[in-house]
Structure 1
Amino acid sequence: MTAEGQRTEFATALRDAIAASGQSLTQLHLRLRDRGNPVSIATLSYWRSGERHPEGASSLSAVDDLEQILGQRPGALAALVSRTVRLGGLPAPRVPFDDETERRETEETFAALGAAPQTAIRDISTHMSVMVGDDGAIDRTTYRCLVQVTSGTVSELPLIDVDEEQTDAFLLITDVVGGTLDREYRHPAGRLSGIVIAFDEPVAAGETTLFEFTEVYPPGYPRRRSAWHATARPSKETLISVRFPAEREPDWCEEYVESEDGEEWTAPATMSGRVAHTVRHGFGPGVLGLRWGYLD
């Protein structure tokens, strides 16, 4: 089927699903907005008529939400978005730190790792599961990442971490799935470190790969009471969850967002029992995080 034919099929399927649901475009707009995927009524109308089609990480995320809102099976609408649209063009990655020193040291760390420019990687989803110890600081964090290659073939992915204090120690990388820890580097200034995950198999354009790993905080490593994810370009989904030990729930916990120009937004975190979480769709560039504290 041609890309044009696939776009027409998407519009037809969306139109039928909306009609069957009995919902108006205004209702769909409001429900998408509440899920963190704001799509204008005009854009929904264009998708329904076939004049335009979803493209970009935030639009594809909205299609996933539309499937749920309209009672469709997972992938029923997303599968009709053409592969060309799915790959699309990527904006140039931008270091999401406003501090000039952090920007410079990030670039130096990438260079020291010998990492290829990440111009052909799309972040589909990043899930961070954080376990807090009895002292109220992070013990370990497990990452589950899904990425898509948009051009050429990619065999590895570099990742950067920034510490609140200077240290010569490395976080322990364990339980790597879908790849191996190929190399790591600690910047001489002592606050930035980087790792490179080599994928089990090279990933070609249009393909996705899922990998996982866990960071363990060794004795003597600076303790953190914040968990954050920095992204250099929009990510379809970013989820951070923090689990606190029994009888050690924080006295306060907030989510925060830092834009690349240094602006910050905060709000009370969503708590369910001993778990706090924050989630964004189409987020980036910038920093999304949770932080917490104790009155004692």
Structure 2
Amino acid sequence: MSSRNELRRARADAFASALRDGINARGVTLAWLQENLRLRGNTVSMATLSYWRSGARRPEGAQSMAALGDIESLLGLTAGALTGLLGSTKRTGPLGPNQFPIDEAALEQMVKDAFAALGTPYPDTSREVTTHSVTDVDADGNVSHCITRSVVQSTVGTVTAIPFLELSPGVSTPAPVLSAVSGGRISARYSHPSGEVHGALFELEAPLTAPGTAVIEWSVGFPPGYPPTQETGHAVARQCRELMVWTRFHPDALPDWVEEKIETPTGIRLAPLSLAGRTSVHQVRRAFGPGAIELRWGYGERADQPG
């Protein structure tokens, strides 16, 4: 029977071989891979990438696992094609506090109701290690679709499903269409009577035992009758190694003004942003959370808005 070290070596060899095959099939260099990882906020040294490719070292820790999710994407590999070859890392990484990201007690109670209805404990025992959320804005200037890819990690015990919620504080809406794209399926849905909280339970493809990670992807669509929306964002209850919110505007609906809203337990910060000749805005925060990153936009003269 193989020893633990032999099993670890076999996994490292399989990972290195898959990484080499992916790089060769894509026809790219390690320098190209490093630069594109940097653009996504994942700083990995050339030496580390070389070690991974040769099998001299294997990725360890949440930060490296987050980078692997981007490597899979950059090389055109299926989610988990590389991470699935490693087995569990022994490190969870720094977790930080688990805290409701928005300072609204009534809204938090609605979220607790949603968790209870979905049959999952509150607060959630998983965390988002890295998350990229991409929102498309239609020709009328309103949110039309959002897709999110996340490296999630179990922080304690075993996680089989993760709840995802859409919040519209103070605004009652019909239920948006939450769909699983990859990494699992939607096993339950819930809408709060207020219409301000809607959610779905994302059942993972396989149970996730701490400190293991998985890559998942889900989308949000908006049905007829949904209020026109000119803001988007993403909130996390624990510190996220990297959170990116990318908002892509229709070329016929470029806004006249754009504003960033960052909400954390220490307060709210508003700041004007500029498209600067582009058709999109990306907001990136590292070691962010608990908190929320939002983007607001509009047309015509900027009207005063409460924070």
The normalised TM-score by structure 1 is 0.70
Q: Which runs of 5+ in 1 are unaligned?
A: 3-34, 36-60
One-letter identity of the residue aligned with 1:106: V
Q: Out of 120, 125, 137, which is 1:115 matched to? A: 120
Aligned to 2:182: 177
Asked if residue 149 in structure 1 is aligned to residue 117 in structure 2, the reply is: no
**SS across alignment from 1:263:** strand
Aligned-pair Cα RMSD in Å: 2.9
One-letter identity of the residue aligned with 2:150: C
Identity of aligned residues (%): 29
Check whether the contact 2:103–2:265 (CA below 8 A) recurs between aligned residues: yes
Aligned to 1:73: 49
Check whether the contact 1:113–1:196 (CA below 8 A) recurs between aligned residues: yes
Aligned to 2:65: none
Check whether the contact 2:130–2:241 (CA below 8 A) recurs between aligned residues: yes
Check whether the contact 1:271–1:277 (CA below 8 A) recurs between aligned residues: no
Aligned to 2:229: 224
**Structure 1 residues 270 and 136, CA gap change in structure 2 (3 angstroms):** closer
**Structure 1 residues 75 and 81, CA gap change in structure 2 (3 angstroms):** farther
**SS across alignment from 2:193:** coil
| Whole-angstrom CA distance in 1 between matches of 2:204 and 2:226 | 28
Q: Out of 289, 292, 300, which is 1:295 matched to? A: 300
**SS across alignment from 1:96:** coil
The normalised TM-score by structure 2 is 0.68
Write out per-residue CA displacement over residues 107-161 of structure 1, whole angstroms, 9 at most, x where no aligned residue: 2221222112455423111111111111101000011111112332111001121
Check whether the contact 1:159–1:196 (CA below 8 A) recurs between aligned residues: yes
Q: Which runs of 5+ in 2 are unaligned?
A: 6-37, 63-88, 302-307
**Structure 1 residues 135 and 74, CA gap change in structure 2 (3 angstroms):** farther
Q: Across the two proteins, how many residue pairs are aligned to each other?
A: 235
Asked if residue 99 in structure 1 is aligned to residue 79 in structure 2, the reply is: no
Write out per-residue CA displacement over residues 253-277 of structure 1, whole angstroms, 9 at most, x where no aligned residue: 1222011354334241565621111
Aligned to 1:278: 283
**Structure 1 residues 208 and 118, CA gap change in structure 2 (3 angstroms):** farther
Aligned to 1:254: 259
Check whether the contact 2:175–2:195 (CA below 8 A) recurs between aligned residues: no
**Structure 1 residues 258 and 225, CA gap change in structure 2 (3 angstroms):** same
Check whether the contact 2:125–2:156 (CA below 8 A) recurs between aligned residues: yes
Task: Show structure 1 runs of 4+ deviating over 3 A.
Answer: 74-84, 88-92, 117-120, 164-168, 269-272
| Whole-angstrom CA distance in 1 between matches of 2:50 and 2:196 | 42
